[in-house]
Structure 1
Amino acid sequence: MSIISLCSSHRTFALPAFLSRLSGGLSAAFVLLWLAACSRPLRERVTVYDGFPQTAELAGTPLPLDTAVFHYPFRIRVQADRAVVMDLHGTDHFFHAFSLPDFRHLASSGRRGDGPDDLISAENMRWTGDTLHVLDSGKSQVAHFVFAPSADSLLRVGTVSLDRQLLRALDFVSINDSTCLVPDYSGDSRFCVVNRDGRLLRRFGSIPTANEDALLHSRPALAQAWRSFIDYNPRNGVLAAATQLGEVLELWNLRDSTHTVLLGPGGEPQFQVRQGYGIPTDIMGFIDVQVADSAVYAIFQGTSFKEIGQSIQQGESLQDGGRYLYVFSLTGAPLRCYVLDRHVCGIAVNEKRRILWTTDVNSDEPVVEFRLDATD
């Protein structure tokens, strides 16, 4: 798939879907109003885009790290003057904290193991204020960490076990101090609302697919194919979900109950059902998404499974991650496509400083900084 085909013009139409991440100090009254709104129909539309009005190339600068060896640095989360990098396949620890802007190593935490304070498999992490929440899908728990007063270690200060009614949780976002959302992989709904004790409160939403046969006969496989990376910004009330397969980005504004489905040239996730599982057949899609204060940023791959198969047969290795940083307005208008000089997985955007921090699993220098244009 060429850069030209990935980044050009767009057009708009109308159709359906629904919801995931929140954090921060939303009032209890707002949460009650939002939960009530979940049961009402949303104002939904589908926007079909075939490119972006602006394209720019960006060269990154690898940041020298004074310590920490990563196996697969998958996510990076920034909070004030600290960044935490999650190592998806860490052998000793799952995440490493650094100071900003110098990226000096502060602490490694989230020890891998079977002990009561260990993690089996870290799937994602989120900041809520000064607390880092880590999802351990192996134990079906969310662990809470805070920095010690000396800032040289992360201390585990609590754990929440998730309701057994939830299928294996692979992502989560906080709504406020008492509620979070977990994607529903049963296919019966889009998301599960979970309280601070991990108890399932309700399910809501539906997958915005045109595949009626899968809706009728293969909902779990459909949910697997539609697995999405999610994010939420409490300052503007916008929630995003970007599909791991195909090219679909969903945006919800939780303040006015609008829902936009952005459908790109890659289309919705394509798959075949084998023994109840969804086997992907078309392309790898998005790999990370962030809702910032003024725009939505998403890393897109676009590699076909045919290309992957051919590379394996020929003994070639493909780069993990995506080279295309898509930028959309908070209402879903395509703004710009950045073509990066390397493949990256995780992203963290600082709009005020016009900085993009990324993780590059293909390099021995895995944290890379990009300077964004000031014209978005």
Structure 2
Amino acid sequence: MLRIAYIISVISILLFISCTPESIDSSKKAYTDFPQEQELKARTIRLDTALFRYPSRLHIRDGKAVVLDLHGTDYFFHTFSYPDFRYLSSFGRRGDAPQDMLSAENFRWNGAFLWTLDSNKSELTRFGFALSDDSLLRQEAVNLDKDILRALDFVMCEDSTFIIPDYSGDSRFCKVCRDGKLMHKFGVIPTVNEDALQNARPALAQAWRSFIDHNPRSGILAVATQLGEVLEIYNLKDSTHVVCMGPHGEPEFQVSGGYGIPTGIMGFSDVQVTDRAIYAVFHGRSFKDIARDARNGINHPDGGQFIYVFSLTGKPLKKYVLDHYICGISVDEQRGVIYATDVNEDEPILEYSIKTI
């Protein structure tokens, strides 16, 4: 028994070290503009079926494209062949049954499997392809530790552990083991708002809600704020942390009833770390302008009209100006294209041709 306990403790230590630095060396960078700017025009992907209500995420891998429909009526996820986007099947049934999903926040590929996050059930679910290779079957569900406050995004490390943003305000992330248990927390919110740090940490964490992505080959974890204009880059291999602050600065908010009410701008809505660069969808519209236009009966399209490109160390490289407003992206650097979702269109999948960085 002692030998077994010793082996388990050694494995736990290795897992701890493998994907999370013990100490983080942080630095801050400010950027005002991008050295290159380019306008892009989309090619609309014509689908053979009408499925979507709010297609917010798109991930592509191994000849498959999966789209998350945030407000899906019957299913949250739809699978297509890639790159021809021929419809294959839907999965992640919406409903109250034990194997149904109440909500869907994001999904991630992990080898031949695909994991989904249901924040309302506080559950991660693993799906695998059937023998026919055209449909995904539910294989495993992992209940998240009760100490994790409403998981809204996640990534996976090579050792099959999870990194989930921490919304308690005590740290930046939760490291979660394969069975859903909280291992430890790491990182801090890089704010200069000392009053919020002392007196309103949960509201501060809400305001700093971020979209994340991780590339296991480089060890880069990118973190893009939904409000303001902050991109954080954690290198989980060399324990460095870079905070890139744009002209709009950190998220602005007011505390009301314990909640953080946004007062600044809509920031990023998606981020992807490729082998060469970091791509992030940026909005930049102020809540003041949104409220003013709403009072005047002006309704703007939902989404952002810019894709910002940074190096893996946080250097601004390029700004793409789009002809559509988009929510999510999937970058295929080998083919030189970016696929995007436009929730304002009946045909919501777009293709942009780019020169690889």
TM-score by length of 2: 0.95
Distance 1:355 1:186 in 2: 38
SS at match of 1:215: helix
Partner of 1:230: 212
1:208-247 correspondence to structure 2 within 5 Å: 208-247=190-229
Residue of 152, 160, 173 corresponding to 2:142: 160
Distance 2:62 2:41 in 1: 25
Distance 2:259 2:20 in 1: 34
Asked whether the equivalents of residues 55 and 339 of structure 1 are also in contact (C-alpha less than 8 Å), the reply is: yes
Deviation at residue 248 of structure 1 after TM alignment: 0.1
Does 1:47 pair with 2:26?
Answer: no
Distance 1:35 1:177, change over 3 A: closer
Asked whether the equivalents of residues 94 and 122 of structure 1 are also in contact (C-alpha less than 8 Å), the reply is: yes
Does 1:110 pair with 2:92?
Answer: yes
Distance 1:30 1:56, change over 3 A: farther
Distance 1:315 1:84, change over 3 A: same
Asked whether the equivalents of residues 68 and 105 of structure 1 are also in contact (C-alpha less than 8 Å), the reply is: no
Name structure 1 gaps, 5 residues minimum.
1-26
Deviation at residue 69 of structure 1 after TM alignment: 1.6
Partner of 1:13: none
Partner of 1:329: 311
Asked whether the equivalents of residues 240 and 252 of structure 1 are also in contact (C-alpha less than 8 Å), the reply is: yes
Asked whether the equivalents of residues 18 and 159 of structure 2 are also in contact (C-alpha less than 8 Å), the reply is: no
Asked whether the equivalents of residues 106 and 151 of structure 1 are also in contact (C-alpha less than 8 Å), the reply is: no
Distance 1:111 1:264, change over 3 A: same
Deviation at residue 202 of structure 1 after TM alignment: 0.9
Asked whether the equivalents of residues 21 and 238 of structure 2 are also in contact (C-alpha less than 8 Å), the reply is: no
1:285-304 correspondence to structure 2 within 5 Å: 285-304=267-286
Distance 1:234 1:262, change over 3 A: same
Partner of 1:33: 17
Distance 1:201 1:32 in 2: 8
Partner of 2:111: 129
> Given residue 105 of structure 2, which amino acid in structure 1 is its aligned partner?
E
Deviation at residue 36 of structure 1 after TM alignment: 7.0
Distance 1:206 1:320 in 2: 31
Distance 2:269 2:333 in 1: 20
Partner of 2:322: 340
SS at match of 1:246: coil
1:1-376 correspondence to structure 2 within 5 Å: 31-34=15-18, 37-38=21-22, 40=23, 42-374=24-356, 376=357
Distance 1:87 1:196 in 2: 26
Distance 1:30 1:55, change over 3 A: farther
CA RMSD of aligned residues (A): 1.4
SS at match of 1:210: coil
Name structure 2 gaps, 5 residues minimum.
1-10
Distance 1:163 1:28, change over 3 A: closer
SS at match of 1:123: coil
Distance 1:57 1:333 in 2: 20
Distance 1:266 1:357, change over 3 A: same
Distance 1:34 1:147, change over 3 A: closer
> Which fold has the larger relative contact order, with Cα–Cα distance below 8 Å and residues 6 or more apart in sequence?
1
Asked whether the equivalents of residues 68 and 96 of structure 1 are also in contact (C-alpha less than 8 Å), the reply is: no
Distance 2:17 2:183 in 1: 15
SS at match of 2:290: helix
Deviation at residue 28 of structure 1 after TM alignment: 8.8
TM-score by length of 1: 0.90
Distance 2:80 2:20 in 1: 40
Distance 1:63 1:36 in 2: 39
User: Deviation per CA, 1:6-58, whole angstroms, max 9, x where unpaired?
Assistant: xxxxxxxxxxxxxxxxxxxxx998644346733x2x22111100000000000
Deviation at residue 315 of structure 1 after TM alignment: 1.4
Moved more, 168-177 or 283-292: 168-177
User: Deviation per CA, 1:340-376, whole angstroms, max 9, x where unpaired?
Assistant: 11110010001111110000000001000000124x2
Partner of 1:14: none
Distance 1:129 1:59 in 2: 33
